Amino acid sequence: MKRVVVTGLGAVTPIGNNVQEFWNSLINGVSGAAPITRFDTTQFKTKFACEVKNFDASPIFEKNEIRKYDLFTQYALYATDEAVKNANIDFDSLNKNRIGVIWGCGDGGISTFEEQIGEYKLGNGTPRFSPFFIPKRIVNIASGVISIKYGLRGINYTTAAACSASNTAIIDAFNYIRWGKADMMITGGSEASVTESSIGGFNASKALSTLNNDYSKASRPFDSTRDGFVLGEGAGVVILESYEHAIKRNAVILAEIVGGGLAADAYHLTGTHPEGEGAVLGMELALEEAGISPDQIDYINAHATSTPTGDLSELKAVEKVFGINPNANISATKSMTGHLLGGAGAIEAIACIKAVQENIIPPTINTQEAEPEFADKFNLTLGKAQSREVNYAMSNTFGFGGHVASSIFKKFTE
């Protein structure tokens, strides 16, 4: 098996439109929640979200190009541009047949779908659809467009594993490289789901917070009064390549990925297993693959969306795998970014990689009274960032349908 290293990062998030802005906001505990600007929320139970702010796609798109892409694809291309530059990649000097793209996304072009169906209805059933309607809305288009932009002919597909989609994509990319089937992969995920149907649908299932009068504190993972997640959007990109390939092109290595565990709850359509059975399996598989024991993990970026049942089941799973008072700090960065659905694992992988690089644990903000059963068992990094040596960091993601993905990043050493 080949070693797989991280050589580039890119991000578009509700708290920063590049990696450095994103990381600075994380360690300073900045909330990305604000009133929704995309549509009139008068009739909606939830009137806020973590939208991307001041996004300008023009630096990487021609004017006539932007109309071809839904916002989730624009986010993907923008973040990829940053990651490619960060990794200092000259694709023309590399074998493009062995460089691929594996992307994660849950909803795809949902705003495009809403817009086009709305126009169809207004036209009294006259089928006047845009020629870009289908390619703008299909969930796999971002991976295709990234490969087209850079001429990459290697492995290319999109994982649709709900909220674990981009973590699953990262693990798949890791596997293809370590198996020797690719030299480099662009991986991560994106989502642009702050739309009427998303807010309305999640409201109907009682998944979203309705703390409209204090929205900046609505995402409060592990808090005994939490009432649902805050919807977010954006993209995260991780450039992975084999150690040999990175050394050969004199790349700066940011971290190493050493384990990935994929599993299922096999329990419920939308809810996690109450005892965290799938989460336990995913974490154990990742640890086994990394060849380390639980006490070697220094940081766990929890899935922790701020839902009443989900957070509790994850804490139960962590206790089963790591025991009481484990070595690891735990934090929930969704308290700041909201929940990016299929894009969540990508930006949370970046948070883990930066924690390994900088030896800083980003905080869990807004949580005032942690779940009584677990308040004294874990270091939930409440309120402010904590400095400590971080050699191994784990990222957990779970999705509707019971999907589980856990990945482990390691401080790079020769």
| Residues known to be catalytic | 163, 303, 339
- Interatomic CA distance for residues 94 and 152, integer angstroms: 10
| Helices and strands, number each (H, E), in the chain | 13, 14
Q: Are strands 255-264 and 4-12 parallel, antiparallel or unpaired?
A: antiparallel
- The C-alpha torsion from 148 through 154 and 158 to 161, rounded to 10°, is -160
Q: What is the DSSP letter of 44?
A: -
Distances in Å between the alpha carbon of 350 and those of 31, 85, 106, 186? 18, 16, 19, 14
Q: How far is CA 179 from the centre of its chain?
A: 24
117: CB partners within 8 A, 6+ apart: none
Residues present in the chain in total: 414
The amino acid present at 390, given as its one-letter code, is V
Evaluate whether 193 touches 233 at the Cβ level (below 8 Å): yes
413: CB partners within 8 A, 6+ apart: none
DSSP 77-98: HHHHHHHHHHTT--GGGS-GGG
CA 363-367-372 angle, to 5 degrees, is 115
Give the 3-state secondary structure of residue 243.
helix
DSSP 1-26: ---EEEEEEEEEBTTBSSHHHHHHHH
Evaluate whether 360 touches 73 at the Cβ level (below 8 Å): no
